[in-house]
Chain A
């Protein structure tokens, strides 16, 4: 599962700007702990932990503690229907307004 750019910018501001969100793609393949997630990213461990906490609160990832290890897994059902609704309709209206603009040009007074 990919987190779209909208979610990434909201929950992980400043994160992965030059890179694709590799951490989420890697999570989608299975489980990773915070150190594995941090590998290859230009972020401190506390910053990674903070971002993971936000993602978990948002319901996008789940965490499982085993002794001193915490493993993270993407929750495929974490995104709500409302999220999908918002995405579809955000993409819908600009195109409609473009059509409205064209119509307005074609209309007489």
Chain B
């Protein structure tokens, strides 16, 4: 009898980027650069009801040029799954590029981590 298998609970993605880890890090962390490729609610492209749009991006953990973890809030997500966590791992490749690994998991329904300087960690919040 074939065993029933649990659905994976994370989205993972890996690829090589033709840019140094330092450059990739800037693209991931500088708010103006991040906004170029990771849309937030209220942007001009907000025309599809099912589209993924984050209303809040908050730094949870950061090891420059190596690992970055964001807490994300998505208002239009499935019930109970509005909060999620995405982790980016960066590794230099032999030819000067970056191997990027991304893991995105839906977070449990629990209070989000708030660092002492909470506003300083929030990269992006959509206008009310």
**Which residues of A are at the interface with B, using a C-beta cutoff of 8 A?**
10-11, 50-51, 53-54, 57-58, 80-86, 88-90, 92-94, 96-97, 99-105, 107, 109
Contact = CB atoms under 8 A, between A and B. Distances in A.
Contacts of A101: 17-18
A92 B104 CA distance: 11
B24 interface: yes
Interface residues of B, number: 33
Q: For A80, A101, A104, which residue has the most chain B Cβ atoms within 10 angstroms?
A: A104
Given A89-B52, A104-B18, A97 B27 contact: no
B27 A57 contact: no
Interface in B20-72: 23-24, 26-27, 33, 36-38, 50, 52
B67 to A, nearest CB: 17
Contacts of A82: 7, 9, 78, 81, 106
Contact of B4 (A58, A90, A99): A58
A99 to B, nearest CB: 4
Contacts of B13: 93-94, 97
B52 A10 contact: no
Interface of B: 1-2, 4-5, 7-9, 11, 13, 15, 17-19, 23-24, 26-27, 33, 36-38, 50, 52, 77-81, 84, 100, 102, 104, 106
A10 B5 contact: yes
A50 to B, nearest CB: 6
A99 B36 contact: yes
| A interface majority secondary structure | helix
Ordered nearest first, which 10 A-B pairs have the shortest CB separation?
A: A81-B78, A99-B37, A57-B4, A104-B19, A92-B52, A100-B37, A89-B11, A85-B81, A103-B36, A93-B13
Contacts of A102: 37
Contacts of B18: 101, 104-105
15 contacts: A58-B4, A85-B81, A86-B7, A93-B11, A93-B102, A97-B15, A97-B100, A101-B18, A103-B27, A104-B17, A104-B18, A104-B19, A104-B24, A104-B27, A107-B27
